[in-house]
Structure 1
Amino acid sequence: MDFTDVPVLVTGASGFVGSAVARALAARGADLRLLVRRDSDRTNTNDLRADLIEGDIRDEASVLRAATGARYLFHVAADYRLWAPDPEDIVRNNRAGTLAVMNAARAAGIERIVYTSSVATLLPDDHGAADETRPATPEQAVGAYKRSKVVAERLVEAMAAEGLPAVIVNPSTPIGPRDVKPTPTGRIVVEAANGKMPAFVESGLNLVHVDDVAAGHLLALEKGQIGERYVLGGQDVTLRAMLAEIALIMGHRAPTISIPRTLLFPMAHANEAIARLTGGDPFLTVDSLKMAAHNMYYSSAKAEAELGYRARPFPEALADAIAWFRAAGKIT
């Protein structure tokens, strides 16, 4: 698809995945519009040739101003917190933001939408890799973040069934450059690279380079079916193997101590209590330990077959992430 001079709106471009999507579009010559909050960190947008429009995804009027005249929309922005003092705040934000953006897109006559969901909306498969055929209900989702993404995705599905031209993509666990905040997985990479994770729990996840996820977004716009969802993943990896690869890159000894999850729950409760007092983000949460009970493995077979999606090996993604964190001064 030729994006040259095509007006495209991206929400969440100051964030990790959103900035990768914006850069992929910029490389294809798109006329970029980026909806950003007034107080958002502009590190990921400062060097992009784009019109920055201040607004809030929960404010339909501000989204409509940004969307008017745009041809395509990538709605990547979300409340990505895995923990909050009031967990329902995450659910409210993601539902309200998604509804406002989709209503504004419909009012602006957007031709095609790519909505960034998450594999958090899919039930894990303890016997293999989960795929798009395992949608979760809000009641089945573990934690407020996963529940919020299920609620928002079901909303987009319902609107697509009524004619909204939206395609849904479900990234797994992206890693790579420009993880400014960083994300929870990025924090693990930083801590492990700094030699501060001597032990681990037995769990697994699906790692994917953030730039491959961004490429998958563009493929979904071009080839995706309206109302369908597509997993954008990479490789299934145990947490043990992930930490070993980080140690290899850094020249450290890989951790070998496996800690039962049950022993970490008191620490998680303590982390959350401290976060409530300080206003910070806990490194370990009760919900993250509950999630670790299952290997979060996912298949991208549908995206590969229908979109032509491909992902590079996870060690390359880790190496790029570590190089960026090192340059940013987060790894010493």
Structure 2
Amino acid sequence: MSQRRVLITGATGGLGIALVAEALARGHDIVATGRREEAGARIKALGARFVAADLVKPEADLPGLLSGCDSVIHAAALSASWGPEQDFVETNLELTRRLLAAAGSVGVSRFVFVSSPSIFAGFEDWVGIGEDDTPAARPLNAYARTKLAAERLVLAPRDDNLACCAIRPRALVGPGDRVILPRLAELARRPRMPLPRGGQAFIELTDLRDAARAICEAEERAPSLAGRAINISGGQPRAVRDIAVALAGALGTHPRLVSLPLGLARPLASVLEALAHLVASREEPVLTRYTLATLAYSQSFDLEPARRLLGYEPQHDALGTLLKEARSMSAAEVGA
């Protein structure tokens, strides 16, 4: 394994820190960038060089940041299910476009884009999504739309030596997760927890460490993966209801689980979204079409391509990781 200088964007998030640790363990020289300087101190302690920066700002010197780098792992994103469309366009799409251009201009040879399985979300069960399956024709929110558009930019044929590929990790959990656990914990702390279709849909959680290993392996093999997108998950589908019950137990809460019929949920989500858009609300409605799709319908990946192309096999029990983090969160709140 040869040492390379790798730029990791979005390094101060949960996945970003896991990526820094994994890439350092592989012997690479890491330049990590992100906006959270307190997380930057931890990154420096791991042995990486940290550059505090908001790459979305026009004045960000992307060619300068990339100077001397061999590879880019682009994990920076606006990972939210609600917000102004332009914010998602600028962060998820235009930043990717500018970073690709800068990488090509300074001679970077490898570019791994952290994409999202949200591009498949829809109102139907979809089990065993494979490498030839196409994303939903109409993505359900601005996050999915912009991640899909950015992925297509990354995977488009190029006339230079920049080998680009994408990894789509499913439902990431672990230290630093600011998406899955906080949202589920909020539901688990309510007196009643509504479960679309009774919580019978299956979700595949993914441990951040497994995702980081797959992404860094894609960086290793990027020259042979150019133009490909690979789906990654923990490989253990779990019913939403079972996850909800286990999480409530870890948090010490006792919500009443209430089945939410789809005949009520779908029109309600549409009306709530329409009202929120009408008043330009930055507050996410209590139910959106995207949230409904992810909780009411099963989605799982065929991991055969990941095994074949990356040698990937999940090493961690993602549900166990989620529950460990939930117990730590609960203990921290009690001690505060």
State the TM-score bracket (shorter-chain normalisation).
0.7 to 0.9
Q: Deviations over 1:166-188 (max 9, x none)?
A: 12101111011112xx21x2223
Aligned residue type for 2:196: V
Residue in 2 that maps onto 1:62: 61
Is the Cα–Cα contact under 8 Å of residues 176 and 209 in structure 1 kept in the other structure?
yes
Residue in 2 that maps onto 1:22: 20
Q: Deviations over 1:134-173 (max 9, x none)?
A: 1226x42222211111111111111457653112101111
Q: Cα offset for 1:327?
A: 5.7
Residue in 1 that maps onto 2:148: 150
Residue in 1 that maps onto 2:213: 215
Structure 1 position 175 matched with structure 2 position 173: yes
Select the residue among 99, 103, 111 that pairs with 1:105. Answer: 103
Q: Cα offset for 1:89?
A: 3.8
Select the residue among 42, 49, 52 that pairs with 1:51. Answer: 49
Q: Deviations over 1:4-46 (max 9, x none)?
A: xx4221111122322221222234443221222xxx3334322
Is the Cα–Cα contact under 8 Å of residues 120 and 146 in structure 1 kept in the other structure?
yes
Q: Cα offset for 1:278?
A: 7.5
Q: Cα offset for 1:212?
A: 0.9
Aligned residue type for 1:117: S
Is the Cα–Cα contact under 8 Å of residues 21 and 215 in structure 1 kept in the other structure?
yes
Residue in 2 that maps onto 1:114: 112
> 1:1-332 maps to which residues of 2 (within 5 A)?
1=1, 3=3, 6-36=4-34, 40-49=35-44, 50-53=48-51, 54-57=53-56, 59=58, 62-84=61-83, 86-122=84-120, 126=125, 128-136=127-135, 139-160=137-158, 163-179=161-177, 182-183=178-179, 185-192=180-187, 194=189, 198-202=193-197, 203-224=201-222, 225-234=225-234, 235-250=236-251, 252-253=253-254, 255-264=256-265, 266=268, 273=276, 279-282=282-285, 284-311=287-314, 312-326=316-330, 329=333
Distance 1:275 1:212, change over 3 A: farther
> What TM-score do you get using the length of structure 1 for normalisation?
0.83
Mind listing any 5+ residue stretches in structure 2 that lack a counterpart?
A: none
Q: Cα offset for 1:108?
A: 1.8
Distance 1:189 1:283, change over 3 A: same
Distance 1:167 1:270, change over 3 A: closer
SS in 1 for 2:167: strand
Is the Cα–Cα contact under 8 Å of residues 109 and 163 in structure 2 kept in the other structure?
yes
Q: Write the distance in 1 (CA, Å) between the matches of 2:189 and 2:107.
A: 49
Distance 1:81 1:160, change over 3 A: farther
Q: Cα offset for 1:267?
A: 7.2
Q: Write the distance in 1 (CA, Å) between the matches of 2:101 and 2:289.
A: 35
Distance 1:127 1:48, change over 3 A: closer
Q: CA RMSD in A?
A: 3.2
> What TM-score do you get using the length of structure 2 for normalisation?
0.82
Q: Write the distance in 2 (CA, Å) between the matches of 1:104 and 1:267.
A: 40
Q: Deviations over 1:214-249 (max 9, x none)?
A: 111111112351111111111222211211221343
Aligned residue type for 1:41: R
Q: Cα offset for 1:96?
A: 0.6
Q: Write the distance in 1 (CA, Å) between the matches of 2:335 and 2:153.
A: 40
SS in 2 for 1:45: helix
Is the Cα–Cα contact under 8 Å of residues 160 and 227 in structure 1 kept in the other structure?
no
Distance 1:61 1:46, change over 3 A: closer
Is the Cα–Cα contact under 8 Å of residues 199 and 258 in structure 1 kept in the other structure?
yes
Q: Write the distance in 1 (CA, Å) between the matches of 2:331 and 2:5.
A: 33
Q: Write the distance in 1 (CA, Å) between the matches of 2:335 and 2:272.
A: 26
Mind listing any 5+ residue stretches in structure 1 that lack a counterpart?
A: none
The number of aligned residues is 322
Q: Write the distance in 2 (CA, Å) between the matches of 1:304 and 1:275.
A: 46
